[in-house]
Amino acid sequence: MKLVDKGITMEEVRQMSQRMFGGLVKGVVDIEKQIMVLDADMHADEENYLLELGSFQDNLWGINLYPDIPGDDFLEFDSMINVRPRLKNFTRSIENADLQKKIIAIVHKLIIK
C-alpha cells in the first residue's frame, strides 16, 4: 500500500496496475484530508489503514484507477466500502454527483500526469 498525500506520477500508478488483474489499481480517498491510499488487494485494507491514521470512515470512499484508459474514464467509483445506507449511498458506486466531483478533483490533484 502507498499513502499518497503529496503526489504520485501516472507512471507509478501504471506500474502498480501491472500487479492486479484487469490493469486496475484499487484506492481509497479521504475527502476531508484530501489524501488517498493505493495499491492493495482490497479496498477494506486501504480503508483500515486510513482509519489507523485518524481518518473518519464517513470521509473514505473506494475507487478504482485504470491508468491505461485516457481521460476521466480512468477513474471508477466501485467498491463495497461505498455501500453506506446511513449516508444515503445504497450501491457500490458513489451516487452523489457532488461527491464524485470532489473525489475527481482530489485524484487529479494527487496524480501528476
Task: Please say whether the beta carbons of 41 and 79 come within 8 A.
Answer: no
pLDDT in tens, 16-52: 999 887 889 999 999 999 999 999 999 999 999 999 9
Give me the chain's average pLDDT, please: 95
Q: Domain containing 43: what range?
A: 2-112
73 pLDDT exceeds 80? yes
Q: What is the mean pLDDT of residues 65-74?
A: 90
Number of domains in the chain: 1
Would you place residue 67 in the very low, low, confident or very high pLDDT band (cuts 50, 70, 90)? very high
* Stated pTM of the model: 0.95
Q: To the nearest whole percent, how much of the chain has pLDDT over 70?
A: 100
